[in-house]
Amino acid sequence: MRVIDSHTAGEPTRVVIEGGPDLGTGPLAIRAARLWTDHPDFGPSTLCEPRGHDAIVGALLTPPSDPSCATGVIFFNTVANLGMCGHATIGLAAVLYHMGRITLGVHRFETPVGVVEVDLLSPDRVRAKNVESFRHLKDVTVEVPELGRVSGDVAYGGNWFFLSKHDAIPLDFARLSELTSATIAIRNALERNGITGAGGAYIDHIELFGPAHGQADSRNFVLCPGGAYDRSPCGTGSSAKLACLVADGMLAPNETWVQESIIGSTYDLTYVPGNTGIIATIEGAAYVTSETTLLFSNDDPYRTGIRA
Ligand code: PYC
């Protein structure tokens, strides 16, 4: 299998350019579902140790159903698909440019949750226009045994998020393991209490906010599906954050919001109104880090990755 790796604001993406599974034809959302039903070992083989690690997001290229798109893409991590992925969209644009498949300028990518538009400003600087983001629930409170009462909003930015200003643990890089345990406890409590996104959607991302350490408007810590945290400010999570700010009347169209991640990297975000929510634009930098052929020996006991 041939892959090209990059990172966007510190968060890794692995684009599968050759050797991925055949998902057949049909709408991209159906093909994306087949990735785990028909090929359950593909994600862990490609991303888990010993060939990767659980923070990597995969991007499987597949033909688009919409001919105006440069490619179709299915984002996945070691445990599940992601509907959209902001950092991986930015990384994908940088990788396709590196491969000579796209030029600088505007291109469309089809994801299982809608078409996103990227503007490749330079070989490593990308502005990505996300699918529509919106707030679903405001000020939900949940009892978390390990933490007490935690309040936050439920919002969609291409994935489902619970966004909270819970400040018991400072958003410091040195507190990563406590932040990870706390956000896993919040996610479990939401599930136990039946708190979901629209239509019963599982909330698989938890996002905590606090004051920026640098010049940004805010700092975040984002737990991704599974147990990894986002090194970047999370494109879909920042879009969900903007939707909440806009719903509270705190951000005007085209005003820039700078979101800082737990490692101090930043995205510049703006929005325009959508049909019921907002269309967020995420601008950040991505760098190609390697071109690799992954090998899978039949004798290798960890052929399909090291898993719990
Ligand atoms: O940038 O949207 C994002 C993202 C989701 C999970 C990891 N990164």
- Provide the pairing of β-strand 71-76 with 105-111: parallel
8 neighbors 266 (Cβ within 8 angstroms) = no
Q: Among this protein's residues, is 234 annotated catalytic?
A: yes
The pLDDT tens digits for 71-103 are: 999 999 999 999 999 999 999 999 999 999 999
Rounded average pLDDT over 108-120: 98
Ligand 1 pocket test, candidate residues 56, 230, 242, 262, most atoms within 8 A of CB: 230
Q: Where are the domains of the chain?
A: 2-130+288-293, 132-281
- Given this model, what pLDDT does residue 6 score? 98
What value does the mean pLDDT take over residues 108-126? 98
Q: How far apart are the CA of 139 and the centre of ligand 1, in A?
A: 23
Q: Looking at residues 279-287, what average pLDDT do you find?
A: 98
Superfamily of domain 132-281: Diaminopimelate Epimerase; Chain A, domain 1 (3.10.310.10)
Whether the predicted pLDDT of 121 surpasses 80: yes
Residues 6 or more apart from 250 whose CB is under 8 A from it?
none
- Give the Å distance between the CA of 301 and the centre of ligand 1: 30
Q: State the average pLDDT for the chain.
A: 97
Using CA atoms, how far apart are residues 118 and 88, in angstroms rounded to an integer?
12
Query: What is the rounded (10 degree) CA torsion for 44, 38, 11, 204?
Result: -100
CATH fold for the domain made of 2-130+288-293: Diaminopimelate Epimerase; Chain A, domain 1 (3.10.310)
* pLDDT at residue number 308: 77
DSSP β-ladder status, 278-293 and 125-144: antiparallel
Neighbours of 296 (CB within 10 A): 14
Distance CA 49, CA 238 (A): 28
Region of 200 (left: φ > 0; alpha: ψ -120 to 50; beta: rest) is left
pTM, two decimal places: 0.97
Non-local CB neighbours of 153 within 8 Å, separated by 6+ positions: 135, 136, 137, 138, 139, 140, 162, 163, 164, 244
Set 48, 85, 224, 244: catalytic member: 85
CA of 97 to the centre of ligand 1 (A): 21
Ligand 1 atom 8: residue of nearest CA: 234
Question: Does 2-130+288-293 match 132-281 in CATH topology?
Answer: yes
User: What would the pLDDT profile of 20-57 be if each residue is shown by its tens digit?
Assistant: 999 999 999 999 999 999 999 999 999 999 999 999 99
